[in-house]
Amino acid sequence: MLFNAGLLVLSCLTASVSGFPPSHLTQAGSGTDVVLSCSLVEEGGGFGAMGAGGGLFTRTPATLVLRDLPVSPDVSPETLTPYIPPATPDPEDIIIEAKVTSPEIPEADSLLHADCNEQEVTCEISRYFPRGTEGTGLAYFIGSVQLEGGGISMTLVLQTLPPVGEDEQPAVSPLLQNKLELPLSQSGTLLTEVAFVVFSRSQSVSAPLGGDVLLDCGFKQQEPFPARAMGLEWRLQHRGSGRRILELKAEETEEEPIVHVDRNGSSVNPVVAVEEGNVSLSLEELRVIDEGTYICTVSTALFQAQQVMQLYITQPPRVSLSVDTVLFRAGLPQKVSCHCERYYPLDVQVEWMYLPPSEKEPISLTQNASHSSHRQYSDGTFSLSSHLMLQPSSMPPGTVVTCLVSHPSLSAPISVNLTVSKPEPTGRPYWMMLGVAIATLLFLYIVLR
């Protein structure tokens, strides 16, 4: 998948994954600390980088400690143990402590429960150089934390805090982290605070053709909140090409945010966006071309961060059989078809089986069937037919033949049936009888008029 270059470096990489043991769920002060195993991702293949993946990036193990996450009352305190930094500070270690009290992290609870639910957390950190922060003496990181399996996903901007000595004065000659060359706290950690966060609570959404959907995205930042000036862009990337869906710009000097809509029926509530940081995108009357990767980019005076989510369009097939009943004439095989129409996406599975009256379990016929190729309509949906020759020898009257269709849009497969009917008692072909009847009527008509 292709994304814009720049900030989105993070999502181009395969995730380094780590579950964390419950002992790493730790309590401190009013909230709880969560310890995540992360990778520090850097551009370029320097020497000594561990676990280098690909030629372009190097990854170094790192630890992210999210401090003071609010605890919900149902977390039992026994499971929480205080976070203990290493006994002797090691300038090789990369331990980033992030204060998260303001702005608060949404649904941080789900991170606390991730371990119990056997969900994995992906965490990657890289250096970030926001425009306009040169010469401030502050360093920045961008961290991407994702709960596998469709939970919360967030991109955090971390801003370093100057380390302080025992007397709360700036430390005089603090230990420097070897790789980052940044001053460490007395316990050997890099102190930061969360300055900005963009998050989404649904990384993947399915919605029906013609329906509506809301793609979740939000942001929070340190003061000033609400954000007086901000920018928002929603883009759609699909199969290597991208287009803008919507853009919003709020300026301090303007009364109303300016919204530019590129896709009809898409909207963001500008008031909620600016005042609550809720920049969720609403899309109406979904079409197949709306499917793809959506990127929500929020920028403020200093920072810019993104969330990426997938939208899948689904439409169940309409399933029908060419006939309801089959009558074998003159003992000849009969062709029947099962039609699956107007579905999306492409992967549909058709199975055939039959159940003679004497049997208890249906017998599969799928390998005897032949499929037409897929046809695609202008709205992007597909159709397919499956054909089968029924043999009179194996199908006595009363046999039920079933076409069973599975599709990702269906929670259970659709089944349609036909039955094999009894032959005419005279054994004479039906059309002959019909011919005789018509001839008789014609004869009577001529004679009697």
Ligand X SMILES: *[C@@H]1O[C@H](CO)[C@@H](O)[C@H](O)[C@H]1NC(C)=O
Residues that bind ligand X (CB under 6 A): 214, 216, 218, 264, 278, 280, 355, 362, 365, 368, 391, 394, 400, 402, 415-417
User: Smallest distance, Å, CB 280 to ligand X?
Assistant: 4
User: Smallest distance, Å, CB 434 to ligand X?
Assistant: 29
User: Smallest distance, Å, CB 405 to ligand X?
Assistant: 11
- When the beta carbons of 214 and 438 are compared against ligand X, the nearer one is 214
User: Smallest distance, Å, CB 254 to ligand X?
Assistant: 23
- When the beta carbons of 100 and 191 are compared against ligand X, the nearer one is 100
- When the beta carbons of 327 and 400 are compared against ligand X, the nearer one is 400
User: What is the bridge-based pairing of β-strands 382-390 and 334-343?
Assistant: antiparallel
| CB neighbour list of residue 266: distance below 8 Å, 6 or more residues apart | 234, 245, 246, 281, 282, 283, 284
Which residue from 51, 50, 48, 80 is spatially nearest to 67, judged by alpha carbons? Answer: 80
In three-state secondary structure terms, 339 is strand
The CB-nearest residue to ligand X is 218
Which residue from 208, 404, 408 is spatially nearest to 319, judged by alpha carbons? Answer: 404
- When the beta carbons of 117 and 415 are compared against ligand X, the nearer one is 415
Which residue from 130, 134, 188, 135 is spatially nearest to 163, judged by alpha carbons? Answer: 188
- When the beta carbons of 25 and 404 are compared against ligand X, the nearer one is 404
- Which pair of structure tokens corresponds to residue 277? 């940081």
- When the beta carbons of 131 and 360 are compared against ligand X, the nearer one is 360
User: Smallest distance, Å, CB 281 to ligand X?
Assistant: 10
| CB neighbour list of residue 286: distance below 8 Å, 6 or more residues apart | 207, 208, 209, 210, 211, 212, 213, 313
As a residue count, the chain comes to 449
User: Smallest distance, Å, CB 333 to ligand X?
Assistant: 8
In the beta sheet, which residues pair with residue 129?
none
The torsion angles phi and psi of 444, rounded to 5 degrees, stand at -60, -40
- When the beta carbons of 301 and 400 are compared against ligand X, the nearer one is 400
Evaluate whether 117 touches 83 at the Cβ level (below 8 Å): no
User: Smallest distance, Å, CB 402 to ligand X?
Assistant: 5
